[in-house]
Amino acid sequence: MIISVNKKDIEVDDNITIELMLFFLEIKTEFIAIEVNSTIIPKSEFATHMLNENDKIMIINAVGGG
């Protein structure tokens, strides 16, 4: 199926969770937030939240400073 990740279309397997998508994209979950179709998904749901065809995912990186 096709999903959009940070405005780039990618093809992923059906029945994929956010956690698996991040694993395949080699993205660590430590300092990120995930938005699916304009809704922030809690990290506690990454392993269970299933993605669907045409979902629009934004991966937001936290930036520290001071």
Sorted by where each begins, the domain ranges of the chain are 2-61
pTM for the whole structure = 0.90
Rounded to an integer, the average pLDDT of 34-62 is: 97
Rounded to an integer, the average pLDDT of 50-56 is: 98
Cα–Cα–Cα angle for 21, 41, 7, nearest 5°? 55
Question: What is the residue-averaged pLDDT of the chain?
Answer: 95
The CATH architecture annotation of domain 2-61 reads Roll (3.10)
Backbone angles phi, psi at 35, to 5 degrees: -115, 130
Cα–Cα–Cα angle for 21, 58, 18, nearest 5°? 25
Rounded to an integer, the average pLDDT of 7-26 is: 96
Pairwise CA distance, residues 66 & 58, whole Å: 25
